[in-house]
Amino acid sequence: MDTLLYTGCALKTAAILGFECPFRGCKVFILVGAIESEEWELVSHREPTERLKSIKPSGIRRCFVSAQEMPTCITLSVGEPDFCPPLHALSGGWEAVKDGKTHYAPTNGIPELREGLAQKAYRDYGLHYDPNNEILVTVGGTQAISIALMGLLNQGDEVLIPDPGFIVYEPCVLLAGGIPVHVPLREDNDFRPSIADVTSLITDKSRVMILNYPNNPTGSVLSYDEVAQLSRIAVERDLTVISDEVYEKMVYDGVKHYCLATFPGMRERTLVINSFSKTYAMTGLRVGCAYGPEDLISSLWLVHQYTVACVDTFSQYVALAALKGPQTCVEEMVREFDRRRHFVHKKLNEIEGFKCQLPKGAFYAFPNIKGSGLSSEQLAGLLLNEANVLAVPGSSFGAYGEGYLRLSYAAAYSDLEEAMDRMERVLRKLA
C-alpha cells in the first residue's frame, strides 16, 4: 500500500477542496507542520524500478543539503562561482520579460541564441554549425549529457567514462540502458587518460566515449597531442564522443583548451556539450547546449521534446545577452579564480598528510589525502563535523577518486582563508 504525503501548497489545495484520495488503496496523511515547507512528495513502499536499483543519490547534492542545515558552514563542495551573472545579461533577460517574451520557446531554443552559439563556435574554434539543425539549447549541460546518452545508446552498449569523473556520467549511462566502463585517471599521469588504458577497454560493444576537459573534479587538461591521440582512437574504433567542455574558459598558466570537434574526423562523430552555468555564473538559470552533426542532434532533439518541451524562455534571453555582450566579466572571474587557485594549492600542501597538484583548469583542487590515514568519506565527515567545512569525498567521483577530496575554490577568497585555517587546525590534531 502506498502513502500519499501532501505538504505545503498541495496541503492548502487539499484542505480548500475537501480532499478525497484519488488513488484506491492509498492512505492519506496531511502534515500540518509541513505547511511552511511548500513541498509535496510521494512516499512509496514499493521497490524501486530495476533501472533505479543501481543508481546512488548524488554525493554532491547530499553535501549541499548538509550545508543548508549548518549556517556557519563554509561550503567548498558545489561547483558554483560566487559571482553574479553579468549585469548586461540580466538586463537583457529583463527587457525580454517586459517585451512579453515569457511563452513557450522552440524546442531547440530561440533562434537568436542558436545563431549566437553558432557564431561563438566559429569565433572560438573555426567550426561551422547550422543553427537550425546542429545546435540544441538544453536545460544546462547535465540535461544535454543525459539526453545524448538516451539518444545514442541501445541496451547493453558500453560507454567509456572517466574515473574520477563528473558524478552524472555513470547514472546517466545506466538510465539509458548502457554499461559504464571506467577509464582510470591516475595522479602519476596528471589525471589524464592513458592511451593504453583507453585502447584496452574498448570492445565490440563500445559505442560512446565521454571526455571532460578541463576536468571536474581533478582540474586537469589535455595537451594537443593527447587530444589528437584520443581522436584517432575514436575514428579507428568508430566511437561517438561526448565532449563535455563546460569549463573551456577556465584554464591557467597559458594553457590552451582544444575543442575535440576540431580534430580530423571528429566533427561528424562528436557532441560538444557546453553551458552558461560556469562561464557566466548562471548555475540556477539552467542553460546549456549541444553542438553536433544533424544525425546526432536529431536524436537528442526527440528526447528533449518529450522531456522538457523547451528551455525556460527568460533564461535563454539572459544567455543570449551574456553571449553577445562584453566578455571582460569572464576574464575578470578567471583571473580571480587563478588567484584563489594558487592560495588553496599552497595552503593544502602545508597540511600534513595532504599532497596537491596545481590544477591547470576548472576551479577545483583535488588533493591526495592518503597520508591522513582516513578514507575520503571519513575525512570529509571529520571536516564537516569538526571544522565546519564542507568538501566532497573523492569516492563520490568513482573508485579511482578514493584517497582524494574535491574542494571548490570558486568560493569567496575570505571564505577560502577561513576554511584553510579551520582545516589546518583540525588536521593538526590528527597528525
CATH number of residue 145's parent domain: 3.40.640.10
| 4 pLDDT above the threshold of 70 | no
19 and 65 in a common domain:
no
Cell numbers standing for residue 271: 557532441
Q: What share of the chain is helix, strand, coil (3-state, %, to 5)?
A: 45, 15, 40
Percent residues over pLDDT 90 in the chain? 82
User: Last residue of a domain, which of 296, 324, 352?
Assistant: 324
Assigned C-alpha cell, 74:
563554509
Q: Which uninterrupted H or E stretch holds 183?
A: strand 179-186
Considering the domain architecture, whether residues 25 and 117 belong to the same structural domain is answered as no
Alpha-carbon distance of 39 to 10, in angstroms, equals 7
Amino acid at position 303, single letter: V
CB distance 294 to 66 below 8 Å = no
Residue 18 has pLDDT above 60, yes or no: no
Q: What proportion of the chain, given as a percentage, has pLDDT over 70?
A: 87
What are the start-end ranges of the H helices in 153-282?
169-175, 195-201, 224-236
Same domain, 338 and 369: yes
Question: Which among 192, 154, 191, 186 is positioned nearest to 173, based on CA atoms?
Answer: 154
Instruction: Supply the pLDDT for residue 364.
Output: 98
Alpha helices in 255-388 (DSSP H): 294-305, 313-324, 328-349, 376-382
Last residue of one domain, picked from the residues 274, 299, 324 = 324
**Cα separation of 160 and 195, whole Å?**
13
Mean pLDDT over 147-159 rounds to 98
Picking from 308, 249, 303, 296, the residue whose alpha carbon sits closest to that of residue 276 is 249
pLDDT at 52 over 50: yes
In a domain, 288, yes or no: yes
Indicate if 242 and 310 belong to the same structural domain: yes
Q: Is residue 301 part of a domain?
A: yes
Starting at the edge strand found earlier in the chain, the sheet holding 3-6 runs 27-30, 3-6, 41-43
- pLDDT in the model for residue 60: 62
- Cα–chain center distance at 71: 25
State how far the Cα of 156 lies from the Cα of 173, in Å rounded to an integer: 10
**Mean pLDDT of the chain, nearest integer:** 90
| Neighbouring-strand partners of residue 365 | 407
Is residue 147 domain-resident? yes
Q: Is residue 383 part of a domain?
A: yes
Section 103-116 average pLDDT: 98
Q: Are residues 32 and 70 in the same domain?
A: no
**Residue 23 confidence (pLDDT) above 60:** no
- Same domain (yes/no): 140, 268: yes
Containing structural domain, residue 228: 87-324
Residue 249 is predicted with a pLDDT of 98
Q: What Å distances lie between residue 46 and 1, 3, 49, CA to CA? A: 8, 10, 9
- Is 319 a member of any domain? yes
Q: Does residue 310 lie in a domain region? A: yes
d(CA 273, CA 59): 23
54 domain-assigned: no
Do 177 and 271 belong to one domain? yes
Q: Which CATH number belongs to the domain containing residue 339 in this structure?
A: 3.90.1150.10
Residue 71 and residue 81 share a domain: yes
Q: Which of residues 55 and 403 earns the better pLDDT score?
A: 403
Same structural domain, 166 and 30: no
Total structural domains in the chain?
3
Residue 12 has pLDDT above 90, yes or no: no
Residues 412, 424 within the same domain: yes
> Which residues, 6 or more positions from 31, have their beta carbon under 8 angstroms from its beta carbon?
5, 6, 7, 11
In a shared domain, residues 166 and 258: yes
Q: Evaluate whether residue 52 is within a structural domain.
A: no
Residues 115 and 160 in one domain: yes
What is the predicted pLDDT for the residue at 51? 77
Supply angle C-alpha 91, 330, 406, rounded to 5.
115
Tens of pLDDT, residues 237-249: 999 999 999 999 9
Which residue would you say has higher pLDDT here, 330 or 50?
Answer: 330
> Does residue 408 register a pLDDT over 50?
yes
Pick from 323, 306, 311, 296: nearest CA to 133: 296
